Structure 1
Amino acid sequence: MSSHPHEGRRQRERPPAPEPLVPLVDAHTHLDACGASDADDVHAILDRAEAVGVTAVVTIADDLESARWAVRAADWDSRVYAAVALHPTRANALTESARAELEDLATHPRVVAIGETGMDLYWPGKLDGCAEPAEQREAFAWHVDLAKRTGKPLMIHNRDADAAVLEVLAAEGAPESVIFHCFSSGPEMARTCLDAGWLLSLSGTVSFRNAGELREAAALIPPDQLLVETDAPFLTPHPFRGAPNESYCLPYTVRALAEVVGRPAEDLARETWENARRTYEMRS
């Protein structure tokens, strides 16, 4: 199933269920990497999520196999939506046949975004087979065009690549709707993105003790440009960092974010739910 160049999970038990926080949408998760393989697994994950207020999730592809699977999962459960793309580190697999298949999958009515795509300048040279920056740029530009042709939001993965991502968006022309998944840059990048009208999606990293610049950035995000996500099974929020993440853990992140921005968690839940429903055009 889906593999991902994030740091690997340590073998620990899942965190306990948080107090419910209603309503929430997990704007970015990887159900297949969370261990789901069939409809029963997907239902179980979504049941755990719904029990704490997470009413819908967007499951993300990072390779062609996971793109096919994500679309199937969205058909299995009405609480699941899908996004399709090749992860930047896999951009060297964007063959003509892969492009054709992604174009076909992108037309599925439950595919609500093109992603995750973008630039990752952390992994080249560290990860065997990782796409080189030039390959990533070409693939990113193609995904930008696909988002514009389908009218679906562009979901961006950006790791150590602020300038490169902005350059591609400027050169190609950004789609109408752009989401920076797992936003992890500082306030300067946040201001640039927010001024362009783009959405910033925050994950469990906002709760990490070493994320001072990210917390400064989080405080700048207007209510209508904010999304929240788990990026499960990665980036489990503090104090459970290192344990397997799952969509039901999202309330931990939202409550941590509420402390950062000094606003009620219930308000953040409602606002980000509305933003996700609007941006992804979610219709059950």
Structure 2
Amino acid sequence: EDPRVFRTFGVHPSRVGKCSRRVLLHMRDFLQHPRAVAVGEMGLNYHRNISEAQRGAQIAVFHKQLLMAVELQKPMVIHCRDLVGSRAEIDCLAIMKSIVPRFHRIHCHCFGGSLHQMWSWKRCFPNTVFGFAGAL
């Protein structure tokens, strides 16, 4: 009821195993609310050792949420983490470039990558803003 409170709705990559068609339909309904301001947190989380099947499930759910955000013209809250290296970032950007318009609004939350990685995001999607974790 508080008019100062806004919401985002998304399926975190660590929760894709519980994501069904029904969940995505409910999410779409929730996103119709005027105070629903973004889709996410969504993305890829390779922070733990995951199987190829888990990676594929994350990619599939991420893809569906990106399409929803573009269709509904909602900003995106992106979660992109990797245990070692930058495979999550490479996969994330490749998927997004195939779906997301260049000037779509994006919040890359809890960013922990390098300055080079940040500029890669900005070159692909100039309307990206970054949030940083306290550990940074």
Which TM class, normalised by the smaller chain length? 0.7 to 0.9
Partner SS for 2:41: strand
Query: What's the counterpart of residue 32 of structure 2?
Result: 107
Cα 1:121–1:155, aligned 2, differ >3 Å: closer, same or farther?
same
Equivalent residues of 1:180, 1:198 under 8 A apart: no
| Percent identity (aligned) | 24
* 1:183 to 2:122 alignment: no
Q: What CA distance in whole angstroms lies between the structure 1 residues aligned with 2:33 and 2:110?
A: 25
Cα 1:144–1:79, aligned 2, differ >3 Å: closer, same or farther?
same
Query: What's the counterpart of residue 81 of structure 2?
Result: 159
Deviation at 1:189, TM superposition (A): 1.1
Q: RMSD of the TM alignment (CA)? A: 1.9
Partner SS for 2:90: helix
TM-score (norm. length: structure 1): 0.42
Equivalent residues of 1:144, 1:174 under 8 A apart: no
* 1:116 to 2:38 alignment: no
Q: Which structure: larger Rg?
A: 1
Q: What CA distance in whole angstroms lies between the structure 2 residues aligned with 1:84 and 1:103?
A: 9
* 1:203 to 2:132 alignment: yes
Letter of the structure 2 residue corresponding to residue 146 of structure 1: M
Letter of the structure 1 residue corresponding to residue 122 of structure 2: L
Equivalent residues of 1:89, 1:123 under 8 A apart: no
Unaligned stretches of 5+ residues in structure 1: 1-75, 126-130, 212-284
Equivalent residues of 2:111, 2:133 under 8 A apart: no
After superposition, the C-alpha distances for 1:178-223 in whole angstroms (9 at most, x for unaligned) are: 2111111101111111222132332343xx4xx4xxxxxxxxxxxx
Equivalent residues of 2:11, 2:42 under 8 A apart: yes
Letter of the structure 2 residue corresponding to residue 118 of structure 1: G
Alignment of 1:56-67 (within 5 A): none
Equivalent residues of 1:82, 1:111 under 8 A apart: yes
Unaligned stretches of 5+ residues in structure 2: 83-87
Letter of the structure 1 residue corresponding to residue 126 of structure 2: G
* 1:168 to 2:95 alignment: yes
Cα 1:132–1:149, aligned 2, differ >3 Å: closer, same or farther?
same
- Deviating above 3 A after TM superposition, structure 1's stretches of 4 or more consecutive aligned residues are none
Q: Say which of 163, 170, 194 aligns to 2:122.
A: 194
Query: What's the counterpart of residue 71 of structure 1?
Result: none
After superposition, the C-alpha distances for 1:239-283 in whole angstroms (9 at most, x for unaligned) are: xxxxxxxxxxxxxxxxxxxxxxxxxxxxxxxxxxxxxxxxxxxxx
Cα 1:121–1:171, aligned 2, differ >3 Å: closer, same or farther?
same
TM-score (norm. length: structure 2): 0.85
In the alignment of these two chains, the number of paired residues is 128
Query: What's the counterpart of residue 69 of structure 2?
Result: 147
Flag the structure with higher strand content.
Answer: 2
